[in-house]
Amino acid sequence: METQSYKSALEELEGIVQKMEQENPEVDELAGMVERAATLLKFCQSKLRGSEEKLNKALEKLNEDPEED
């Protein structure tokens, strides 16, 4: 899953939600869809947290006192 991009994971997740809304899947299929959606959500959350941390570090560097270097 790590090789998957945030964008592709989000698109897959949106596809799952759309399929759930439009097709009214059977319980067995629904369970698999929910499991996959949960995996995708965790992946997207992890990517967002990582991006947030990188942005915060970059902002900290920008806000550092230039005399400290």
Tell me the pTM.
0.78
- Kindly list the distances between the CA atom of residue 42 and the CA atoms of 5, 10, 24, 63, 67, in Å, as whole numbers in the listed order: 13, 11, 24, 31, 41
Please list the pLDDT of the chain residue by residue as tens digits (69 residues): 668 999 999 999 999 999 999 998 999 999 999 999 999 999 999 999 999 999 999 999 999 867 655
